[in-house]
Amino acid sequence: MISRPGRYMVVAVTATRRGQAEPASSGEASAFRRRLLDGLAESIAAVGYRNTTVADIVRRARTSRRTFYEHFASREACLLALVADSTAQTIGQIVAAVDPTRPWEHQVRQAIEAWITRVESEPELIVSWIRDVPTLGDVARQLQHDTMEAFITMVRTLADTDEWRAAHGDPPSREMAIILLGGLRELIASTVENGGRVRDITETAVRAAIVLGRASAL
């Protein structure tokens, strides 16, 4: 049986390992860091990551370039930290939304709806994660790996229930989880980029996840 850890991921520290400065551990430092991350998120929503500068981030955060560089080595490091933070929150919200005592098809719907609700709250950031982070090269590769592994673990852990096992046996394989997650990510990104409403793909996403769930038992 797959263990159910209290946290499904550790990617929130990845950005620090990849060039983020280490501020003193204090409430004030944490507050400034949060403001900088929020400033980047606001700028991404307004003009996109590629058009965002450090000056834009500090202006929206109402702080200084010096403060920025006390927390992050670069604009790229700030983005990686923001994506790691957002991913951790997304996984936490999905896990909290799923009732493991309900029929497995209902659990799938709960997970998909929670994910889409999260995406609707920050669609531009999700697209930036999918499109911009891979362009950062080696500095982002570990974060990409960590976030995908965290989602894979989440999927397999959520499926490790009596309801799922009664219908399908073991939880989906790692390979099946990758197919599911990759497809949903691309569907979400293309919908946002084309000006569509993410909420409108809910039924398609739920049906696809259920089909893959049934296929995993074959």
Query: Quick one: DSSP state of residue 141?
Result: H
- For the chain, the maximum distance between any two Cα atoms, rounded to a whole number of angstroms, is 57
Q: What is the pLDDT of residues 73-116, one digit of tens each?
A: 999 999 999 999 999 999 999 999 999 999 999 999 999 999 99
E-assigned strand segments in the chain:
none
Report d(CA 58, CA 63) in Å as an integer. 5
Say yes or no to pLDDT of 10 above 60: no
pLDDT of residue 26: 63
What lies within 8 Å, CB to CB, of 122 at 6+ separation is: 41, 45, 86
Report d(CA 155, CA 91) in Å as an integer. 10
Report CA 89 to chain centroid distance, whole Å.
Answer: 7
The domain ranges of the chain are 75-215
pLDDT band (50, 70, 90) for residue 177:
very high
Q: Tell me, what amino acid is at 70?
A: E
What mean pLDDT do residues 59-72 have?
96
CATH tag, 75-215? 1.10.357.10
Note the pTM of the prediction, 2 decimals. 0.83
Q: What is the pLDDT of residues 178-202, one digit of tens each?
A: 999 999 999 999 999 999 999 999 9
Report d(CA 129, CA 80) in Å as an integer. 9
